[in-house]
């Protein structure tokens, strides 16, 4: 008999968690499963999900008032639990709250009848607090949502640093925790879209991700200005979308960088572009575990990253003796590290076994999901 699995998430935008979920579902499809996927918001990845077999997509109805939505999203766990318990008739073998920080999607998984319930953690809660300009509100939210995790049998941080950050904020749940890195879809990495534009420039840097304040793409652009002074034949390409896009485009325009910093928009399949780049770059201030950095190594591309906790975790776990697969830096020396790489790029050759990486994750998933 097919194992019935419920998965809830916030959105299908082009983001690390969303791509990781797509890879997880693609892995689960290798087994006798039936998956109900409950989604709050559609996005560019919608077609990818709709084309999945064994997956029944059902949208969650949200209140029309954005004010009520924001309050419930961050605070009212118990009221959502009671509401959903009255709505859900179906029973599941496994329920997964995949987003882990939106009560509307998470509490749907908590409310259903399931033999095992999991909640994924893609964020470093400690860093979210440290980087916030509204620490009191974040602390209040954390005090309230702490209760949410008691409804789940397992809490799944996607990295060691995500686990440590979680326990520094919510210190009652260590016995429930299992670290499971994000699995990578190797078939998707090998896809080549036809008619993909050729990236110009002798040297090419690429950012892939959301355009939000926490991703600090403005810092990356400012560092790139300093790189240009020393390496004039380099271009920075940016794939992604978000609320900071207009501000970033204005930053580029005000510095007369239109020829050197090119916005490619959101791409359903960024991998043909990643393959053309010399290095993948990011100045993100907070990452629990970057799917893009792992993908860059899988594509034999170097990464140059601000030393957030997630990047440090990947750097530590993917490097081998005498082999360095990436460069960590801070805002002060980021441009120097990029310049050093560009001037000596032939000396930087990543060596990372993505298949072994994936196999280790699959073993853990098979064990705990009882596949």
- The predicted pLDDT at position 51 comes to 55
Residue 238 lies in a domain: yes
Please identify, among 116, 150, 180, the residue that sits at the C-terminal boundary of a domain.
180
- The predicted pLDDT at position 179 comes to 95
Query: CB neighbours (10 Å) of residue 136?
Result: 8
State the average pLDDT over residues 17-42. 87
Here the tokens at position 276 are 């053309």
pLDDT by residue (tens digit) across 127-138? 776 767 778 777
Task: From 183, 103, 104, 199, select the one nearest 359 (Cα to Cα).
Answer: 183
Considering the chain, what is the average pLDDT of its residues?
84
Confidence check: pLDDT of 270 > 70: yes
pLDDT by residue (tens digit) across 86-114? 888 899 999 999 988 888 889 899 999 99
Tell me how far the alpha carbon of residue 66 is from its chain's centroid.
Answer: 24
Residue 253 lies in a domain: yes
Band (pLDDT 50/70/90 cuts) for residue 353 is confident
- The predicted pLDDT at position 120 comes to 96
Q: Comparing 116-130, 167-181, 267-281, which segment has the lowest mean pLDDT?
A: 116-130
Pair (164, 200) in one structural domain: no
Band (pLDDT 50/70/90 cuts) for residue 197 is confident
Pair (7, 120) in one structural domain: yes
Pair (130, 207) in one structural domain: no
Residue 175 lies in a domain: yes
pLDDT by residue (tens digit) across 292-337? 888 998 898 989 998 887 777 887 777 665 557 788 888 788 999 9
Q: Which residue has the higher pLDDT, 30 or 192?
A: 30
Number of domains into which the chain is organized: 2
Residue 172 lies in a domain: yes
To 5 degrees, how large is the angle CA 115–CA 116–CA 119?
150
Pair (140, 222) in one structural domain: no
Task: From 11, 165, 171, 210, select the one nearest 99 (Cα to Cα).
Answer: 11
Q: How far apart are CA 221 and CA 245, in angstroms?
A: 12
Task: From 106, 169, 161, select the one nearest 307 (Cα to Cα).
Answer: 161
12: buried, middle or exposed (CB in 10 Å: 19+, 13-18, 0-12)? Answer: buried
List the 113-121 sheet strands across, edge first: 55-59, 33-41, 3-11, 91-97, 113-121, 154-157
Contacts of 31 (CB under 8 A, 6+ apart): 3, 371
Pair (213, 332) in one structural domain: yes
Q: Residues 231, 232, 237, 243: what is their CA dihedral angle, to the nearest 10 degrees?
A: 90
Confidence check: pLDDT of 77 > 80: no
Residue 58 lies in a domain: yes
Q: How far apart are CA 9 and CA 159, in angstroms?
A: 19
Pair (224, 300) in one structural domain: yes
Range of the domain at 287: 193-352
Confidence check: pLDDT of 9 > 80: yes
Q: Comparing 167-171, 209-213, 214-218, 306-310, which segment has the lowest mean pLDDT?
A: 306-310
Q: Comparing 128-142, 156-170, 337-351, which segment has the lowest mean pLDDT?
A: 128-142
- The predicted pLDDT at position 48 comes to 57
Band (pLDDT 50/70/90 cuts) for residue 225 is very high
Strand partners, 207: 238
Please identify, among 159, 180, 201, the residue that sits at the C-terminal boundary of a domain.
180
- The predicted pLDDT at position 1 comes to 83
Pair (176, 272) in one structural domain: no
pTM of the model: 0.83
Residue 226 lies in a domain: yes
Here the tokens at position 222 are 């400012």
Confidence check: pLDDT of 149 > 60: yes
- The predicted pLDDT at position 59 comes to 64
Band (pLDDT 50/70/90 cuts) for residue 50 is low
């Amino acid at each position: 008999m097919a194992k019935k699995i419920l998965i809830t998430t916030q959105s299908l935008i082009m983001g690390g968690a969303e791509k990781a979920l797509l890879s997880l579902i693609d892995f689960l499809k290798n087994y006798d499963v039936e998956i109900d996927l409950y989604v709050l918001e559609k996005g560019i990845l919608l077609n990818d999900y709709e084309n999945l077999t064994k997956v029944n997509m059902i949208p969650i109805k949200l209140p029309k008032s954005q004010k009520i939505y924001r309050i419930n999203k961050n605070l009212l766990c118990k009221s959502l639990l009671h509401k959903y318990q009255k709505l859900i008739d179906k029973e599941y073998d496994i329920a997964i709250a995949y987003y882990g920080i939106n009560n509307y999607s998470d509490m749907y998984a908590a409310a259903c009848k399931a033999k095992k319930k999991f909640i994924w953690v893609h964020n470093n809660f400690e860093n979210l607090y440290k980087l916030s300009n509204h620490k009191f509100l974040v602390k209040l939210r954390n005090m309230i949502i702490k209760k949410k995790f008691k409804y789940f049998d397992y809490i799944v941080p996607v990295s060691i640093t995500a686990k440590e950050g979680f326990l520094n904020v919510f210190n009652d749940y260590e016995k429930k925790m299992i670290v499971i890195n994000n699995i990578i879809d190797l078939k998707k990495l090998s896809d080549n879209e036809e008619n993909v534009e050729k990236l110009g420039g002798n040297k090419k840097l690429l950012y892939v991700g959301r355009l939000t304040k926490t991703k600090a793409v403005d810092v990356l652009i400012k560092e790139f200005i300093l790189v240009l002074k020393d390496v004039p034949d380099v271009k920075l390409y940016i794939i992604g979308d978000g609320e900071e896009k207009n501000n970033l485009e204005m930053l580029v325009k005000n510095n007369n960088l239109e020829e050197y910093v090119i916005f490619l928009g959101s791409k359903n399949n960024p991998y043909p572009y990643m393959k053309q780049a010399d290095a993948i770059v990011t100045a993100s201030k907070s990452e629990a575990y970057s799917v893009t950095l792992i993908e860059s190594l899988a594509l034999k591309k170097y990464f140059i990253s601000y030393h957030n906790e997630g990047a440090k975790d990947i750097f530590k776990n993917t490097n081998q003796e005498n082999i360095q697969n990436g460069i960590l830096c801070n805002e002060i020396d980021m441009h120097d590290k990029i310049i050093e790489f560009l001037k000596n790029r032939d000396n930087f050759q990543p060596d990372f076994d993505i298949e072994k990486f994936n196999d280790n994750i699959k073993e853990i998933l098979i064990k705990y999901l009882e596949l």
